[in-house]
Structure 1
C-alpha cells in the first residue's frame, strides 16, 4: 500500500511539472516581441542602416515587433537578413525578455570595379557588393578586369598592396591594360606606375618604396610621367617635358 501511495505521488508530481512547464511555455510564447535591437560588428562600413534592417525583419508581411514570440520564425528572419548582398554573416535570436536581437557583420569591400555598366564593389572573397546610397567606400577604382580568374588575381594584388600602410593609401586606381600589365594611379601625383604582372610583386613594391624614399624627399618625382617596375632590378622612368608631354 505504501509503495502504491509513493507511486501515485510520483505520478501526480510529474503531471504537475508537465502542467507547470506547459503553462509557463504558453505564457512565455504569448509575450509580444519588443522593438528589435540591431547591432553591427566592428568596422567602418555603413552600407546598412537600422531602418533598412528593420525592413528585413518581416514575417507574414508584418514587422515582427508586437507579434507573439511563439509565432516568430528566427530561422526565416535570419535568412532574410543574410540574403542582403551587404551582409557577410547574421545572427538573429530572442532573449528571455522578448527582445529580438540581430547581430550583423557587413561585407568589407576591397575594390570598386568601374568599367562595367553597373559599377560594383568586391570583397576579399570576390563577392560582388552593389553600390550604396548610404556609404561610399574608399577603395581603389579598378578597370580592365571582369572574369573570375582576373578577379582572383586582383584580390591577390590588392592583398599585397594593403599589407603595406603607405601603399594601401597611395594606390587609388588600378587598370589592367591590353598588355595585361597592371598600371597604378596614385594619390601623390599625376604620374602612373607601370607595375606589370603579379610575379615578384613584393620585390617590385620594395623597389618602388626605395625609389619613393628618395624622390619624394627631393621633389624629383614630380618630373616623371611614368614609373616602370617591369624590368628586373630596375626602375625605369619617363620624364615630363617642359610643356608636360613625354
Structure 2
C-alpha cells in the first residue's frame, strides 16, 4: 500500500509540474520582443561600419513580423545574418527572460582590389566581398590581375607594410604588371619599387630602405622612374625621361659617342684594290694550254712575278690603316 501511495504522489507532482511548465511556456511564447529586449553586439577589434545595429534590427523584424518569442525561428535568423557578405560570423540566442542577443563579427578588409574593371574587398583569409554604397574602409589599393591563390601572401605583405613605420610612410599602393611582377607605389616622386614575386618581402623592403637612407635622401625623388629590388644583392634604377637633369646626362652621353672616329668607311675603299691582282692570275692560266713541251721553266717564273705583285697591295694596307689612326 505504501508503494502505491508513493507512486500516486510522484504522478501527481509530475502532472502539476507539467501543467505549470506548459502554462509558463505558453506565457513565454506569447511574450513580445521589444526593441529594448534586443541586444546587438559588434565584436570587431578594428572598427568597421558595413552593417550597423539598425540594419540588424530590421532583419529581425522581417524574420519575426509578429514580434512574439514563439514565432521566432532562431536558426533561420542566424543563417540569414551569416549570409550577409560583410558578416564573418553571427551567434543568436535567447535568455530565460526573453531577451534576444545577437553577437556579430564583421569582415575586416585587408586590401581593396581593382581587377578587370571590378572593385571589391579581400579580408585576411583571402575571402572576397563587395564594397558598400554607404561606407568605404581605408585600406591598401591593389590593381592588376591578381590570382586567388595569391590573396593570402598579398594580405601578409599589406599587414607588414601597415606595421612598419618606414613602409607605411613610403608605400601607398600595390600594382601587378602584365609580366606578373609586383610593384609598390610610393608617395614621393613618380617612381615605383619593383619587387617581382611575393617571396622574401622582408629582404626586399630592407634593401630599398638602405637605398633610401644612404642615397635617395640626397637626390630629387623625381629623378627616378623605377627602383628594382627583385634581384638578389643588387638594386637597379631607371631614370625618369621627363626630368631635366636626366636630359643633360643623356645629351652628354650622346656627345661622347659623336666624338668617336668612324673607321669602317675607309676599309671599304681598300677592298676593290685587292681584286686587281686576281685578274692578272687568270692570264698565266691560259698560257700553258698552247705547247705541251717539257721545257717550261719560263712559265714557272711568271707566277713568281705574280706573287710579287700580290705582295705590293698587301704592303699598302697598313699604310692606309696608319692614316686612320692618326686622324
- Following superposition, the deviation at residue 12 of structure 1 comes to 0.9
Larger of the two Rg values belongs to structure:
2
Question: What's 2:40 paired with?
Answer: 38
Structure-2 separation of matches of 1:56 and 1:244: 63
Structure-2 separation of matches of 1:98 and 1:245: 75
Structure-2 separation of matches of 1:191 and 1:244: 16
Judge which range, 232-241 or 42-51, deviates more. Answer: 232-241
Question: What's 1:231 paired with?
Answer: 231
Structure-1 separation of matches of 2:48 and 2:122: 13
- Following superposition, the deviation at residue 152 of structure 1 comes to 4.6
Post-superposition CA distance 1:85-139 (Å, at most 9, x none): 0000111112223222211111111111113333111112221111112221222
Structure-2 separation of matches of 1:170 and 1:106: 29
Query: Which portions of structure 1, spanning 4 or more consecutive aligned residues, are displaced by more than 4 angstroms?
Result: 215-222
Segments of 5+ residues of structure 1 without an aligned counterpart are none
Structure-2 separation of matches of 1:138 and 1:77: 30
Question: What's 1:11 paired with?
Answer: 11
Kindly tell me: are residues 88 and 221 of structure 1, through their superposed partners in 2, closer, same or farther at Cα, counting changes over 3 Å? same
Kindly tell me: are residues 48 and 149 of structure 1, through their superposed partners in 2, closer, same or farther at Cα, counting changes over 3 Å? same
TM-score by length of 2: 0.66
Question: What's 2:54 paired with?
Answer: 51
- Following superposition, the deviation at residue 163 of structure 1 comes to 4.8
Q: C-alpha root-mean-square deviation of aligned residues, in Å?
A: 2.6
Structure-2 separation of matches of 1:235 and 1:31: 72
Structure-1 separation of matches of 2:245 and 2:121: 34
CA contact (8 A) 1:142 1:174 kept: yes
Structure-1 separation of matches of 2:21 and 2:238: 81
Partner secondary structure for residue 59 of structure 2:
coil
Give the paired residue count.
243
Question: What's 1:80 paired with?
Answer: 80
Partner secondary structure for residue 76 of structure 2:
helix
- Following superposition, the deviation at residue 222 of structure 1 comes to 5.0
Partner secondary structure for residue 110 of structure 1:
strand
Structure-2 separation of matches of 1:158 and 1:51: 32
Q: Does 1:119 align with 2:119?
A: yes
Structure-1 separation of matches of 2:57 and 2:170: 38
Bigger RCO (CA 8 Å, 6+ sep):
1
Structure-2 separation of matches of 1:244 and 1:218: 15
Post-superposition CA distance 1:167-218 (Å, at most 9, x none): 2454221111122111111234432111111232221011122233345755
Q: Does 1:183 align with 2:186?
A: no
TM-score by length of 1: 0.86
Partner secondary structure for residue 183 of structure 1:
strand
CA contact (8 A) 1:33 1:65 kept: no
CA contact (8 A) 1:30 1:70 kept: yes
Post-superposition CA distance 1:6-45 (Å, at most 9, x none): 2211211121112222221221111111212222112221
Mapping of residues 1-246 of structure 1, within 5 Å = 1-35=1-35, 36-42=38-44, 43-58=46-61, 62=62, 64=64, 67-168=67-168, 170-214=170-214, 218=218, 220-240=220-240, 242-243=243-244
